[in-house]
Amino acid sequence: MVAAKKKHDQSDSGEEPKNQSAEIRVKPASVNVEVVEGELVDEVSEEELEKELNETTALMEQEFESLRQELEEAQTKSKEYLDGWQRALADFTNYKRRVERDQAQTYQNIVGEVTKRYLPILDDLERALNNRPTSGEGATWAQGIELIYRKLVTALEADGVKPMDAEGKMFDPNLHEAISQEPSPDHESGQIIDVLQKGYMIGDRVIRPAVVRVAE
C-alpha cells in the first residue's frame, strides 16, 4: 500500500519517470540517423542523374551527327540527280533540235527534187507569156496560160520555193552560173548584165542557179 501510494504521489506531483527521459534522449539519435541516411540516398541519386544525363546527351549528339550525315548524303544525291536530269534535258533538247533540223532538211531536199521537174515547165510558161499575142483568140488563150502560171508559182511559194533576184547584182558562184563575160559601160566588172534563166531557192538551199551574163 505504501509503495502504491508513493507511486501515486509521484504522479500527482508532476514528476516524470526516469525511463521516459531516457527514451527522449534516444529518439533524436534515431532521427539523426534517418536524416544522414536520407542525405546519402540523395547524393547517390544526383550522381546517377548526372550519369544518365551525360549518357542521354551523348546519344543525342550521336543521333544528331547521324542525321546530319544522312542529310548531307541526301543533298549530295539530290544534286547528282538534278545534274543528271539537267544533262538529260539538255541532251533531249539537242536531240529534238537535231531531229527538227534533219526533218526540215529532208523536207527541203524532197521539195527541191520535185520542184526541179516543174521548173522547165515554168520556164516555158514564162517564155510564152513574154511573147503573148495581144488580140484575137491567142490573147484569150494567153489569159488562161497566165492563170495556170500564177497557180503554179503560188504552189511553189507555199512550199518555200522562191525565185532569185539576180539581175544587177554582183556575180556569186554559189548562186549564179555565168555563160559569158561581156564588156558593158553601164555595169561594173563582175556585175550581172542579164538573167537568161531564173534561179530558184528553198530556204538557204539553191535548187537551181541563175544562168546569167556578167560584165567584164
Domain ranges of the chain: 18-117, 160-216
- Using CA atoms, how far apart are residues 131 and 147, in angstroms rounded to an integer? 16
H or E, element range at 104: helix 18-130
- pLDDT for the residue 154: 93
Distance CA 182, CA 193 (A): 8
Residue 33, pLDDT score? 40
pTM value is 0.57
10-residue averages of pLDDT along the chain (216 residues):
43 46 43 44 67 85 88 88 89 93 89 90 91 83 90 92 92 94 91 94 91 94
Closest to 213 in 3D by CA, of 186, 177, 185: 177
Q: Order of strands across the sheet with 176-182? A: 176-182, 210-215, 192-197
The pLDDT of residue 15 is: 47
Is 160-216 a domain of CATH 2.30.22.10? yes
Which pairing describes strands 161-163 and 205-208: parallel, antiparallel, or unpaired?
Answer: unpaired
Whole-number Å distance between alpha carbons of 125 and 195: 16
pLDDT at 51: 81
pLDDT of residue 56: 86
pLDDT of residue 204: 86
d(CA 113, CA 130): 27
Which pLDDT does position 96 carry in this prediction? 93
